[in-house]
Structure 1
Amino acid sequence: MSAEPPRAVLERLRAVDWYGDWDMAGSHSRSRALLMREYMRRAALWAQAYGAEEQWPFFDVTGFVDPTFRLDPRIESELEDYVAHDVGTPSTARTCRGAVRWAALRERGGSGLADLPDPYEPLLLMYGRGGGYSIEEFIDLYGVMITYGSFESNLDAEPFLTLAPGTLDALDAGAAGRITYFAKISEGYPRSSPRGILRRRLTGRNARTTHDEAFTRNLRWEPTEYLRLYELGHNDIDHVQISEREAAAFIESVAQRLTGSR
Structure 2
Amino acid sequence: MGEWSVAFAKAMSRRLLMREHLRRAALWAQKHSAESAWPFFDITEYIDPEFRLSPSLSCKLDQFLRGQPSGVKVTCRGAVRLAELRAQNPAMVPHDLPDLYEPLIRLYERGGEFITDNCGALDLTGVSFRPGRLQGNAYNTQVIPLNDAVLDALDAEGRVTFYASGDDRGTVFRRLLPQGGGQRDEVFSATLGWQPTTQLSTSGVDIECIQIYDQDAARLIEHAVLGSAPR
Same fold, judged at TM 0.5 (above) = yes
> CA 1:151–1:214 in 2, change beyond 3 Å: closer, same or farther?
same
Partner Cα distance (2:16, 2:10) in 1: 10
RMSD: 2.5
Aligned residue pairs, count: 224
Q: Is contact 2:122-2:130 (8 Å) kept?
A: yes
Q: Of the candidates 201, 207, 226, which is equivalent to residue 199 of structure 2?
A: 226
Number of the residue aligned with 1:122: 103
Q: Which amino acid aligns with 2:226?
A: Q
Partner Cα distance (1:72, 1:227) in 2: 57
**How does the TM-score come out when normalised to structure 1?**
0.76
Partner Cα distance (2:205, 2:116) in 1: 48
**How does the TM-score come out when normalised to structure 2?**
0.85
Q: Of the candidates 205, 212, 216, which is equivalent to residue 246 of structure 1?
A: 216
Q: Is contact 1:219-1:255 (8 Å) kept?
A: no
Q: Which runs of 5+ in 1 are unaligned?
A: 1-15, 258-262
Residue 175 of structure 2 corresponds to residue 200 of structure 1? yes
Residue 17 of structure 2 corresponds to residue 35 of structure 1? yes
- 1:152-179 deviations in Å (ceiling 9; x for gaps): 222248522411112111111x3411x3
Same amino acid, percent of matched pairs:
38
Partner Cα distance (1:214, 1:23) in 2: 25
Give how far 1:231 is off.
2.7
Q: Of the candidates 139, 149, 154, which is equivalent to residue 171 of structure 1?
A: 154
Number of the residue aligned with 1:255: 225
Give how far 1:227 is off.
2.5
Taking the TM superposition and a 5 Å limit, the aligned residue runs for 1:1-262 are: 16-17=1-2, 21-83=3-65, 85=66, 87-108=67-88, 109-111=90-92, 113=94, 115-136=96-117, 137=119, 138-156=121-139, 159-172=142-155, 174-177=156-159, 179-184=160-165, 186=167, 190-191=168-169, 194=170, 196-202=171-177, 210-228=183-201, 231-235=203-207, 238-256=208-226
Partner-residue secondary structure (3-state), 2:186: strand
Partner-residue secondary structure (3-state), 2:165: strand
- 1:178-213 deviations in Å (ceiling 9; x for gaps): x33222254xxx44xx1x2112335679x9x65321
Give how far 1:47 is off.
0.6
